[in-house]
Amino acid sequence: MGSCNLCKYPSEDKIIEKDNTLETPVEALKEKKPKNDISEINIDYRVNTVSSGISVNNSISESIYIIPTEISKHENIKKFYEISTTILGRGGSSYIFLSKKNNSRFAVKQVLKGGVAKPEEILREANISLSLKHEHIIKFYEIFEDYYSIYFVMELGDYGDLFEFITFSEQGYLSPDITIDLLIQIFEAVDYLHNNRKIIHRDIKAENFVLCINEYNQLNIKLIDFGLAIKKPENGEILYDIIGTRKYQSPEMINGNGYDEKVDEWALGVVMFSMLTGYEPFRRTGDHKLEESILYDGINFEIIPDDDLRLLNARLLDRNVDTRITCQEALNFLKNLKLHRDPLYNDQYYLYQRNMFIDEYKRAINEKLNLYRRDTL
Ligand SMILES: Nc1ncnc2c1ncn2[C@@H]1O[C@H](COP(=O)(O)OP(=O)(O)O)[C@@H](O)[C@H]1O
Ligand SMILES: [Mg+2]
């Protein structure tokens, strides 16, 4: 696992058994077809339990919610997609399975309705996910629903997430060259969200970017997980909720004085620091200590091995929201840097040649990813 200093593996066991909620029925959902909003329905069913050797047939009535048919198909997803037992990742109340339809592979995110996300939140994630269209944002194809879960069918990030990419790399951190290539794509995605779609992601972190290889054999990175994403308020309303992963939370969010989309720029600063150094910038243990560290500790920018990138990283991890660099400015900075260092940057043939080194990387990461996944398709 190289000499990586970030910690997700091996303490967390990524391999878990297939989740049997994939088998839950959908008939009751089909009878009631909510059009516009979330509805509650009662479902009745019988279960057979065996207690002390005696079989008991129980009648159970449960109340569940369903989201509008315009957004989710009330069909059994297994009729349309083969769902493998390979788990690509998991969250608080979600599992991401490798799936297949005809000869194409997909990722399916199963979100349990009884989990931490409230119905309105799942509906919001569904709406936002389906509405996004950008080269560096994972494409969401369709959504299915049964009694207990919502299933998001999306494009597969075949080469794992950015956290895995950093930790599985030879040295445990990335070179300035690869970092610049990836950051340009990352900032394009977030700039599209902020400026084109007026959406704040609010959960930017290394685990929420996945990697794939495009037709020119180039490494492509895509943003995922719109579970906390929200439209920028237009009516002067201020956002206060303290959400997301603590290590990535910005000082203004922690301070509780209200925040805007600049929380994403801060989190991108944390991602960038981890890419270049293999260390998270704030890593004191315990919530309170971590908070203090984010608010007051000096950041060890000296360990970033590149003058220009060190400067940019400090402009992202700027505690003053007003002077913190925006995505658009960061993107311009990176593109200029790239052109300056790599004058053939815009030449397609050159790019193709240069990216052949990816083949070697592909072999290495596949080997490592396979240790954590069981591919059954
Ligand atoms: N489209 C995808 N392709 C490959 N891996 C994915 C994909 N979507 C999610 N994952 C993996 O699953 C993990 C959790 O997915 P995510 O959507 O972030 O769930 P949660 O909302 O529970 O955090 C990710 O960090 C990543 O490792
Ligand atoms: Mg996530």
Which one, of 154, 157, 144, lies nearest residue 22 by Cα?
144
- Report which protein residue has its CA nearest ligand 1's atom 17: 225
Q: Is the dihedral of CA 347, 348, 350, 356 positive or negative?
A: positive
Q: What is the dihedral of CA 20, 21, 27, 32, to 10 degrees?
A: 180
E strand or H helix at 46:
strand 39-51
Give the ligand 1 atom nearest the CA of 90. Answer: 14
| Active site positions, annotated | 203
Q: What is the mean pLDDT of each run of 10 residues along the chain (377 residues)?
A: 46 30 57 69 70 72 84 92 91 90 95 88 95 98 92 94 88 90 96 98 97 82 97 92 96 96 98 97 94 97 97 98 98 94 66 54 68 55
Answer yes or no: is the C-beta of 157 below 6 A from any ligand 1 atom.
Answer: yes
Check pocket membership of 109 for ligand 1, CB cut-off 6 A.
yes
Instruction: Give the CATH superfamily of 5-156.
Output: Phosphorylase Kinase; domain 1 (3.30.200.20)
CA distance 291 to 283: 10
Rounded-to-integer distance, Cα 194 and Cα 246, Å: 22
Q: Could you tell me the distance, in angstroms and rounded to a whole number, from the CA of residue 91 to the centre of ligand 2?
A: 6
Superfamily designation of domain 162-361: Transferase(Phosphotransferase) domain 1 (1.10.510.10)
Please identify, by atom number, the ligand 1 atom nearest to the C-alpha of residue 96. 12
Read off the pLDDT of residues 237-288 as tens digits, 9 standing for 90 and up. Answer: 999 999 999 999 999 999 999 999 999 999 999 999 999 999 999 999 999 9
- H-run or E-run covering 125: helix 119-131
Residue 154 CB less than 6 A away from ligand 1: yes
Atom of ligand 1 nearest to the CA of 89: 12
- Domain assignments of the chain as residue spans, ordered by start: 5-156, 162-361
pLDDT tens sequence across 145-157 = 988 899 999 999 9
From 109, 226, 368, 375, mutation site for ligand 1 pocket: most ligand atoms within 8 A of C-beta: 109
Q: Is the CB of 116 under 6 A from ligand 1?
A: no
Long-range CB contacts (within 8 A, 24+) of 117-122: 117/92, 117/93, 117/227, 119/38, 119/65, 119/67, 120/38, 121/227, 122/67, 122/150
Q: Atom of ligand 1 at shortest distance to CA of 207?
A: 25
Query: Is there an atom of ligand 1 within 6 Å of 331 CB?
Result: no
By alpha-carbon position, which residue is closest to atom 20 of ligand 1?
A: 91
Instruction: Decide whether any atom of ligand 1 lies within 6 Å of the 107 Cβ.
Output: yes
- Yes or no: say if 94 and 87 are a contact pair by the CB < 8 Å rule: no
